[in-house]
Structure 1
Amino acid sequence: MTDQTPGSDLPRYLPGTYRSATPPTYPQYGVPEAGGAHLLPKRPPSPPLDRWFTAEHAMGLAASVLIGAVTVMSWATAWSDWNSYRTLRLYAGDADRMDDADLISGLFGIIAALALFTSAVVFIVWLWRVRWNAEMFCRGEHRYTRGWVLGGWIVPVVNLWYPKQVVDDIVAASDPRTPPHLPTLRGIPGTRLVWAWWLTWVVGLVLDNVGQRSVLDGAPQLGELRENAWLSTVSAVSTTAAAVLAMILIRRINDLQTQRPWTPWWAHGNPAP
């Protein structure tokens, strides 16, 4: 039921094999065996026979490169904020210099926003695909449905912790040590890598938003520009740390998914009582 991917020693799941074969039989979940022992409770398995495993190293590499571009632009934005502060402090009466500083700041802000949007799209596409792989490796129920792979980033308030838990479940399901018939992933603790990545990302995001709001509240004063420059600098440090950790995390998940045998959970036979 597996084949070899051309040019690779990794097996590849071929869904056509399952479609053409007689559908496998499954135990009646929740029905007691002799002696009162149960198998797995509640819902029966629903094998998604139209899916297959995919290696996501190329998409992960693209996401890592774009995340690196976001890091570069975070430092460029911090430099432009210091430049605006210095220009106002030294050339407060020179309208041309002030206009040039505002133009540089606005241009860098637009480029940084485009870099962030592009990297976010590619990262979420990669995350969506490795989530599909994770659902095939392990039957365990994820904390959130697949739609939250995207929605967790854009829904206010919950975007402060939903994406982290989505990634936690993907890591848990991708780990070769996780049994394929595990009923739920909730009991598996998060890794320190995911915790560190998420905390540094949230800190950088919050500081950047605070700094931008302070500048947008009317004509900025010298003290406000200095405060914003410091916030941008600390945000750039935190964003850089988050970017490095995100690259390591992408590599870690891809490695876990290629190290684990590419066999869907429903092909592992009956679950243990």
Structure 2
Amino acid sequence: MGLASSVLIGVVTITTWATTWSDWYSYRTVERYGDDPDRLAEADLFSGSLGIISALALFAAAAVFIVWLWRVRWNAEMFCRGEHRFTRGWVMGSWICPVVNLWYPKQVVDDIVAASDPRTPPQTESLRDLPGTRLVWAWWLTWVVGLVSGNIVQRGVLGGANTVGDLRTNVILSTISALATSAAAVLAVQLIARIDDLQANRPWVPWWAVDQYQPPAR
């Protein structure tokens, strides 16, 4: 599932840049051929088609990623008794609940990483006090930048922009979103590999079956 998630995340990155290209194409078309209805209709067709493809790719990647995240969360609960900040249902719910989706998913992943790390004793009682990792921080910050800038383009006040000035702002934000999303995608692939590696290197013994634990040397 980790490999499938990584591949689909790569596909999403490609479709994101394709959508950004269509935004620039629409902007250039309005700028140069604002009075040509055929040119404008062609630009709208490109934009709409690529938008649908991008949405489908994002949905597929999100579904597979959440399934992978659910599985590694289950593994993490077996490795360590430490209390996660959220129940398992939030593995999915944290992504779809408005407002809290700006930080809940990061905390879900933080706890999974902490519980999966072989250096974390199985009898650790709470995970919230363990320090986060720079990889998770970098992944989440770039994702939020891409998410916010993308939402402004797609659903904000600029979503219906039709003047040259508004479209210019639209494509700049679209480019920022694509850059941030690409960075987040690279970091997400690294994060998936990191969590899979941590869990593969941790002894497959449930925390309740471990009497004494000697963490590996750093």
TM-score normalised by length of structure 2: 0.95
In structure 1, what is the Cα distance between the partners aligned to 2:192 and 2:70?
A: 12
In structure 2, what is the Cα distance between the partners aligned to 1:183 and 1:231?
A: 44
**Aligned partner letter, 2:203:** P
In structure 1, what is the Cα distance between the partners aligned to 2:108 and 2:26?
A: 39
Name the counterpart of 1:133: 75
How far 1:186 moved relative to its partner? 1.2
**Where in structure 1 do 4 or more consecutive aligned residues deviate above 3 Å?**
214-217
Deviations 1:47-97 (A, max 9, x none): xxxxxxxxxxxx000000011111111111111001001001111111011
Name the counterpart of 2:65: 123
In structure 1, what is the Cα distance between the partners aligned to 2:93 and 2:82?
A: 21
**Aligned partner letter, 1:104:** F
Picking from 104, 111, 135, the partner of 2:46 is 104
Correspondence 1:91 to 2:29: no
Deviations 1:217-239 (A, max 9, x none): 3x611111111111111110000
In structure 1, what is the Cα distance between the partners aligned to 2:93 and 2:175?
A: 29
How far 1:215 moved relative to its partner? 4.0
Q: Alignment partner of 1:133: what SS?
A: helix
- For 1:1-273, list aligned pairs within 5 A: 59-212=1-154, 213-217=156-160, 220-269=162-211
How far 1:269 moved relative to its partner? 2.3
Q: Alignment partner of 1:220: what SS?
A: coil
In structure 2, stretches of 5+ residues that fail to align are 214-218
Deviations 1:116-140 (A, max 9, x none): 1110000000000000000000001
Whether the 8 Å CA contact 2:80–2:207 is kept in 1: the answer is: yes
In structure 1, stretches of 5+ residues that fail to align are 1-58
In structure 1, what is the Cα distance between the partners aligned to 2:151 and 2:126?
A: 36
Give the CA RMSD over aligned residues. Answer: 1.1
**Aligned partner letter, 1:184:** S
Q: Alignment partner of 1:176: what SS?
A: coil
Size of the aligned set, in residue pairs, is: 212
In structure 1, what is the Cα distance between the partners aligned to 2:170 and 2:193?
A: 34
In structure 1, what is the Cα distance between the partners aligned to 2:158 and 2:82?
A: 47
Rg larger for: 1
User: Comparing both structures, which one devotes a greater share of its residues to helix?
Assistant: 2
In structure 2, what is the Cα distance between the partners aligned to 1:195 and 1:216?
A: 29
How far 1:209 moved relative to its partner? 0.7
In structure 1, what is the Cα distance between the partners aligned to 2:178 and 2:77?
A: 35
In structure 1, what is the Cα distance between the partners aligned to 2:125 and 2:59?
A: 36
Name the counterpart of 1:20: none
Q: Alignment partner of 1:236: what SS?
A: helix
Name the counterpart of 1:11: none
How far 1:100 moved relative to its partner? 0.3
Q: Alignment partner of 2:119: what SS?
A: coil
**Aligned partner letter, 2:66:** I
How far 1:216 moved relative to its partner? 3.2
Q: Percent identity?
A: 70
Q: Alignment partner of 2:118: what SS?
A: coil
TM-score normalised by length of structure 1: 0.76
Whether the 8 Å CA contact 1:91–1:97 is kept in 2: the answer is: yes
**Aligned partner letter, 1:102:** D
Whether the 8 Å CA contact 2:152–2:159 is kept in 1: the answer is: no
**Aligned partner letter, 2:175:** T
